[in-house]
Amino acid sequence: MSAPPDFAAVRAVRGWDWLVQSHALFARARLYWLMLILGYWMITIMLTVVPIIGVAAATLLKPVFAVGFLAAAWAQEKGEAPHMQRLFAGFRSNIRALLPLGVVYAAGIAAALAISAVMDGGALMRLVLFGEAPDGNVMEIPGIQSAMVVAALCAVPTLLALWFAPALIVFQDQPTLTALALSLRAALSNFAAVVIYGLSVFLFWVVIPGIIISLSAVLFGERGALFGVALATPITLSVVAVIHVADYIVYRDLFHHGEAVADASDAPPAA
């Protein structure tokens, strides 16, 4: 176990730079990254088909698969292709320290949803945790939009604590609690950059696809909306892949700031 590492404090504009650098890495191996994303989704879907146990397993393994994406980005930065086998690198790493992160994720999200229940009587919580979808339009449930906002805000500390924790555990041999605390501190110390990054992701993940779908619906009616979804889907998939690449890019910028590529980690995840 190594000593807790220091992290850099960067300017707010780095939030945009993170997205640009992540997209550049993704663009050089677009097909590989899309296959990694689709492979992870297929595994998650197959797990969640199993009642109760499957959902719990998918949640616990989320940080383990996160290491797979980190390993893929690390390998590509070294000049290798991010092959599908990289997705399973977390299973050959410190899995005992990674699995508790899944528990933290589940507990944090459940707590955020429980707090949001004061806004909508628990409708959002029942929908997310138990799949209890009411009849009609979900967005018309009284208070559910406010509940979504409250849940999102309450989930932020959990998400920030988990952001760099898998990388700190695997790349720098940090214990689980130390990794969570370091991740949260690093994110909060660079909160302006994190906000810029988050808004940039929102622009490409939500706003632009939404504009494409809306314009298609206005111009061509119901079929146009479906056409708009078809046009927006590649953008959405690409943004999801870029977000996974960014987990490595941001970690490297904050915890290995200014280091040469070859020095980014002395002990990368197993191939």
> Which of 25, 36, 101, 72 has its CA nearest to residue 268?
72
Q: Is the dihedral of CA 74, 77, 81, 82 positive or negative?
A: positive
pLDDT at 119 over 50: yes
Tokens standing for 12? 């707010």
Model confidence band, residue 265 (pLDDT cutoffs 50, 70, 90)? very low
pLDDT for residue 262:
47
d(CA 186, CA 251): 9
User: What does the pLDDT look like over 62-112, one tens digit per residue?
Assistant: 999 999 999 999 999 999 999 999 999 999 988 999 999 999 999 999 999
Mean pLDDT for the chain?
90
pLDDT for residue 1:
60
Only one residue has tokens 């939404």, namely: 210
pLDDT for residue 84:
95
Mean pLDDT of 43-60: 90
Tokens standing for 221? 């009616």
Model confidence band, residue 260 (pLDDT cutoffs 50, 70, 90)? low
User: How do the domains of the chain map onto residue ranges?
Assistant: 14-257
pLDDT for residue 163:
98
Torsion angle of the four alpha carbons 127, 129, 131, 134, in this order, in degrees rounded to the nearest 10: -20
Model confidence band, residue 178 (pLDDT cutoffs 50, 70, 90)? very high
Put simply, whether the predicted model's pTM sits higher than 0.85 gets the answer yes
Model confidence band, residue 261 (pLDDT cutoffs 50, 70, 90)? low
Model confidence band, residue 193 (pLDDT cutoffs 50, 70, 90)? very high
Only one residue has tokens 């929908």, namely: 127
